[in-house]
Amino acid sequence: MSDFNENSSAFPPPQLPAQQPSQHELQSSSSDSAPRPRRRFGLVLIAAVFGLFGGIIGTYIAQDTNLVDLQSNDSSSQITSAPVVVSSGENELTESAIAKVAARLANSVVTISTTVEEDFGGGRGVGTGVVLTSDGQILTNAHVVEDASEVVVRFAGETEPRVAKILASDLGNDLALLKIDATGLVAATFAKPGSVQIGDAVIAIGYALALDGGPTVTSGIVSALKRTIETDSGALNSLIQTDAAISSGNSGGPLVNLKGEVVGINTAVARGDSTSAANNIGFSISVDEVLIVVEQLRKQASGVVRDDGFLGVGLAAREDGGQGAIITDVQADSPADKAGILIDDVVLAVDGEPIDGQAGLVAAIRDAEPGQTVKIEILRDGKRLTFEATLIARSE
C-alpha cells in the first residue's frame, strides 16, 4: 500500500457530494439574490470543517479502541508469558555408545604442542597423542614432533602442560614415542590385530584445529583396509580408510571401535585438487602395524639402531590399470637378483599382502628387517610365480 493511501485512511478527504449544492439549488441560484448563495456557501464550508474534524476525532478514537483491544484478554493476538517447556529428565534415552566411548577415552587422549626452531624463525604445531602406558609413554605421529625443540602435552581438564621427551621416532612409519614424568595414567586399550573389518563403526578422537576445550569426537565407519598412500616422509601401507572426519590437529589421535579399543592412529586425509575431489577420506595406521612399530620404537629408545630392509630393485607404476609394481632394474648381487627376479616382472604381493603400486612395495620392504626372508609373488608372461628373497640392510 502506498504512502498516499495510508494518509488517506488517517485523514479521509471530504466527500465531494457533501460539498456541492443539490440540483434544486443549482437551478434556482441564478434567480436568487446575491446574499443567499453566500449563506449557503458559508454553511457548506462550516459543515465541511466539522466533518473533517469529526473524521479526525473518530479515527483517533478507533485507534485508541484498538490499543485497548490489544491489551484485553479477548484479543486473538494476546502476548503471553507462558513458561518454556523443559523436560523433567524422566524416561530419558540411555547414553549412546559414542558418548560412552568418548568418556572412556577422555583421560587417555592428550593434546600435543610443539615448538619448532627454523632458520627464518620459530613456529608452533599442535597434534594429538594416546597414552600407551600408565607410567607416561605416549604414542603420536612422527610428523607431529618432527624437528621440535620443545614438546608439551596437556590432559583434558588440566590447565598446565607437562613437558614431554621424544624417546624415538620413525618418519617412515609416521609414529613416535614420547615420555612424560607421570604415574597412574589411564592407558588406552588396543584392539586385537586382525579384528578390524570393513563396515565397522569407528570414532575418531583428537584436538582438531587446536580448538579450546576437550577433544573433538567424530564418527563413521571403516571404509577400506590395507590402503597405501605416499606422504612427504615416504610411503605408508596397511592403512585403515575411514569416513570419520579427521582434521589438522587430529594427527596422532586414536581411531577406536565401539568397545573403546584403539584400532588405528589417525595420520592423514585425502585432499582434492584441480583434477579430483575428495570427501570424508581419512587414513589411520592400523593396529596391526602400530603394535609392531611400537616395539621397534622401544628398542630404538634403548639404543638399538634399526636398519631398513633392502631388496635392490628399481620400480615403476603400472599404467594399464592393473595391480602391482613393475620391476625396471635389478642390482647385481642384490637380494632380488639372487632370488631370480627379472626386469619387467610385476610384483603383486609380499608375504601375502597385496601390493598396490610402487609405494606399497617400498613400504613392505622397508618394514621388513635385514636378514628376514620374504615371499614375493610375481606376474611374468601371464604366469604367477613366487620367489623368496633374504633382505639385507640398506646402505646410506
* pLDDT value of residue 29: 39
Weakest mean pLDDT among 87-91, 130-134, 247-251 = 87-91
Q: Which tens digit of pLDDT belongs to each residue from 322-369?
A: 999 999 999 999 999 999 999 999 999 999 888 988 888 998 998 888
pLDDT of residue 293: 95
Of 238, 251, 284, 334, catalytic: 251
Whether residue 194 lies inside any domain: the answer is no
Write down the catalytic residue from 143, 169, 170, 243: 143
Same domain, 279 and 208: yes
Same domain membership, residue 389 and residue 328? yes
Tell whether 83 is covered by a domain. Answer: no
Is residue 193 assigned to a domain? no
pLDDT digits (tens, 9 = 90+) for 292-301: 999 999 999 9
Coil, strand, or helix at residue 91?
coil
What contacts 63, CB < 8 A, 6 or more positions away? none
What is the CATH number for 237? 2.40.10.10
Ramachandran sector of residue 184 (left: φ over 0; alpha: ψ -120 to 50; beta: rest) = left
Q: Is the pLDDT of residue 17 over 50?
A: no
Please report, in angstroms and rounded to a whole number, the separation of the first and last CA atoms in the chain.
86
212 within domain boundaries: yes
Judgement on whether residues 327 and 360 belong to the same structural domain of the protein: yes
Distances in whole angstroms, Cα of residue 80 to Cα of each of 64, 67, 69, 74, 337: 21, 16, 15, 12, 89
Min mean pLDDT across 237-251, 262-276, 291-305, 314-328 is at 262-276
92 belongs to a structural domain: no
Please check whether residues 268 and 226 belong to one and the same domain: yes
% residues pLDDT > 90 (the chain): 56
pLDDT of residue 15 exceeding 80:
no
Q: In the annotation, is 247 catalytic?
A: no
Contact residues for 319 (Cβ-Cβ < 8 A; gap 6+): none
Q: Which of 113, 169, 170, 174 is catalytic?
A: 174
Cell 577415552 belongs to: 105
d(CA 133, CA 136): 6
Residue 196 lies in a domain: no
Indicate whether 238 and 174 sit together in one domain: no
Q: What is the DSSP letter of 215?
A: -
Asked if residue 256 belongs to a domain, the reply is yes
Q: Across residues 86-101, what is the average pLDDT?
A: 78
Question: What average pLDDT does range 38-62 have in this prediction?
Answer: 49
Cβ pair 152, 163 in contact under 8 A: yes
Q: Return the C-alpha cell found at 349.
A: 604381493
- Note the pLDDT of residue 82: 82
CA 300 – CA 177 distance, rounded (Å): 10
State mean pLDDT over 302-328. 91
Q: Is pLDDT at 41 greater than 90 in this prediction?
A: no
The arithmetic mean of pLDDT across residues 235-245, rounded, is: 93
Residues 273 and 337 in one domain: no
How many domains does the chain fold into? 4
pLDDT of 273 higher than 90: no
- Name the pLDDT band for 233 (thresholds 50, 70, 90): confident
Reported as type and span, the H/E element at residue 317 is strand 313-317
pLDDT (average), residues 243-253: 93
* 43-57, 169-183, 232-246, 312-326: least confidently modelled range: 43-57
Q: Is the pLDDT of residue 272 over 60?
A: yes
Residue 274 included in any domain: yes
Q: Could you list the residue range(s) of the whole structural domain that residue 125 is in?
A: 97-180
295 vs 211, residue with greater confidence: 295
pLDDT at 94 over 70: no
344 in active site: no
Of 154, 95, 149, 104, the closest CA to residue 129 belongs to 154
Instruction: Let me know whether 315 and 284 are in one domain.
Output: no
340 and 279 fall within a common domain: no
Q: Is 282 found in the same domain as 206?
A: yes
Lowest-pLDDT choice from 8-17, 36-45, 220-229: 8-17
**For the chain, what is the mean pLDDT?**
82
**Percent of the chain's residues with pLDDT above 70:** 77
Helix (H, G, I), strand (E, B) or coil at 62: helix
**Same domain for 43 and 105?**
no
Active site residue 181: no
C-alpha cell at 179: 615420555
Most confident of 44-48, 175-179, 301-305: 175-179
- Provide the pLDDT for residue 277: 73
CATH code of the domain covering residue 319: 2.30.42.10
**Do residue 161 and residue 224 come from a single domain?**
no
